[in-house]
């Protein structure tokens, strides 16, 4: 195979052709035997490829710049909005706690109530849904609530009958038998905001105090 030493001398090109946007030129070559040769170099595709390369490079650089600017802008806006986001989240949590409602109250002294049992010792009252002055729990928001009540009879011979009422309608009954026996009810009720639940004495002997009789409830979810 002959080896050629190529001398591309554009200034001494022996021919140039430009037609239909194509470009080529003939360059003199000298072989090992010092024989004159001519090579025609075609640049017709270089222009297109060069344009494509430049175009792709520009788009890539611009794209990277846009992405960087966009990310920087996003980071900037997040940083600026972070205090407000924190305040909003904190307020939402506080609002949920205010509206979640959970309470526990017990009866201090044995009584024979005329109607609603007023559990006067409040141990917990998140959301202030329970009113110890009336013995009524008022739902602060729509949702499902777990409610529980335990009522103990106050005498060895007597019994006590009570009812769990929602908006003055009896839903469940509680019975405390003789000899200081206790009756308990547990339930889940769907309540709307403003619905009221209470434990009402219906018949029998008195209700034993000393924190043996208890009324409690809490919000489960929507």
pLDDT band at 48 (very low <50, low <70, confident <90, very high): low
4: pLDDT strictly greater than 90? no
Higher pLDDT, 113 or 67: 113
Higher pLDDT, 46 or 74: 74
195: pLDDT strictly greater than 70? yes
Query: Which spans in the chain are helix H?
Result: 46-100
Q: What is the pLDDT of residue 27?
A: 47
Q: What is the pLDDT of residue 136?
A: 98
Q: What is the pLDDT of residue 153?
A: 92
Q: What is the pLDDT of residue 192?
A: 96
208: pLDDT strictly greater than 60? yes
Q: Classify domain 101-221 at the CATH class level.
A: mainly beta
Mean pLDDT for all residues in the chain: 77
Which whole number is the average pLDDT over 123-134? 95
Q: Kindly report each contact of residues 171-178 with a partner whose C-beta sits within 8 Å and lies 24 or more positions away, as own/partner.
A: 174/149, 174/150, 174/199, 176/151, 176/152, 176/204, 176/207, 176/208, 177/153, 178/153
Per domain, the residue ranges of the chain are: 4-44, 60-99, 101-221
């Amino acid at each position: 195979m002959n080896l050629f030493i190529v001398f591309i001398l554009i200034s001494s090109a022996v021919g140039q052709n430009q037609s239909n946007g194509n470009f080529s030129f003939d360059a003199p070559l000298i072989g090992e035997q010092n024989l004159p040769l001519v090579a025609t170099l075609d640049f017709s595709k270089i222009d297109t490829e060069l344009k494509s390369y430049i175009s792709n490079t520009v788009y890539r650089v611009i794209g990277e710049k846009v992405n960087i600017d966009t990310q920087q802008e996003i980071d900037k806006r997040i940083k600026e909005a972070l205090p407000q986001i924190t305040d909003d989240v904190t307020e939402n949590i506080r609002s949920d706690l205010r509206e979640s409602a959970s309470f526990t109250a017990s009866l201090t002294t044995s009584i024979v109530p005329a109607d609603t049992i007023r559990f006067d010792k409040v141990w917990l009252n998140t959301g202030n849904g329970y009113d110890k002055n009336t013995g009524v729990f008022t739902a602060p928001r729509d949702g499902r609530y777990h409610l529980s009540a335990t009522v103990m009879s106050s005498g060895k011979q007597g019994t006590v009958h009570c009812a769990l009422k929602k908006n003055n309608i009896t839903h469940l009954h509680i019975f405390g038998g003789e000899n200081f026996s206790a009756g308990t009810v547990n339930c889940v009720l769907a309540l709307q905001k403003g619905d009221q639940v209470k434990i009402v004495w219906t018949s029998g002997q008195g209700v034993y105090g000393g924190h043996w009789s208890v009324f409690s409830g809490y919000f489960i979810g929507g």
